[in-house]
Amino acid sequence: MIQLFPLLLYLLKASFFSTGGLSNITSLQQDLIGRHWATIDDFNHSIAISQVIPGPNGLWVLSLGYLIYGYIGAALALVSVILPPLLVLVIDGIYREVKPHPWVKGALRGISLAIVAILLNVCWSILQRPSFDQRAWLIAGGAFLLMMTRRVNILAILGLAALVGLLVYR
């Protein structure tokens, strides 16, 4: 029997100890599968769905909530997605207080460089997928060039990529 309040707490815990949308997966798997409230298939389906529908990747947890407990589960998941990032207001407040120190500027500059590296790593991890062949390189390169023109809507680019995938890989 699934209890709603503990479910909300598990969702919040996973969100609170994660950075970025998908790093809450492990924590939720341990808690929810361990209690037989969800199956590994629920997780796989939710994550796959988040890849094809619009919105931040982190919304995968809404699908999980729905599969576990219908619309109430999805609503709890939505709460768990919104609450932890609100801490950014506290962090911003702290930053405003300590900002005059030169070391804060240095630290933030260092972090902004690390973020570039983290974004590069996301590209790299996609390039490392076993299904990434020469055709995939062409699609990635084409998407890059279309993006750089700044004239083509991103939805059109991804739609085109879907069409190419349909024609090439089927």
Partner 1 sequence: MQNLPATSRPSVWKLFFLWGGIGLQSFGGGASTMFLIQQTFIEKYAFITREEFLHFFSLCAFTPGINIVALTILIGRKLGGALGILVSILGLLVPSATITCLCVVLFAMVQHAPVVQAILHGVVPATAGVMFVVGLGFVKPLFERRREEGWPWFLACLLMIAACALAIILFNLSVIPVLLAAALLGIVIFRSQRINPEDVPPISPVAPINREQGGK
- In angstroms, what is the minimal distance from the CB of 147 to partner 1? 4
Residues 6+ apart with CB under 8 A from 6: none
Residue 151 interacts with partner 1 (CB under 8 A): yes or no = no
Residues 6+ apart with CB under 8 A from 79: 8, 11, 12
DSSP letter (8 states) at residue 100: T
Q: Can you tell me which of 28, 62, 68, 76 binds partner 1, judged by CB under 8 A?
A: 62
Q: Can you tell me which of 9, 25, 152, 157 binds partner 1, judged by CB under 8 A?
A: 157
In this chain, which stretch among 2-10, 30-38, 56-64 interacts with partner 1, using CB under 8 A? 56-64
Return the structure tokens found at 92. Answer: 């911003």
Residue 85 interacts with partner 1 (CB under 8 A): yes or no = yes
Alpha carbon distance 161, 31 (integer Å): 37
**Residues 7-36: x where in contact with partner 1 by CB under 8 A, - otherwise, as a string:** --------xxxxxxx-xx------------
Residues 6+ apart with CB under 8 A from 15: 24, 61, 80, 81, 83, 84
Residues 109-128 contacting partner 1, CB under 8 A = 109-124, 126-127
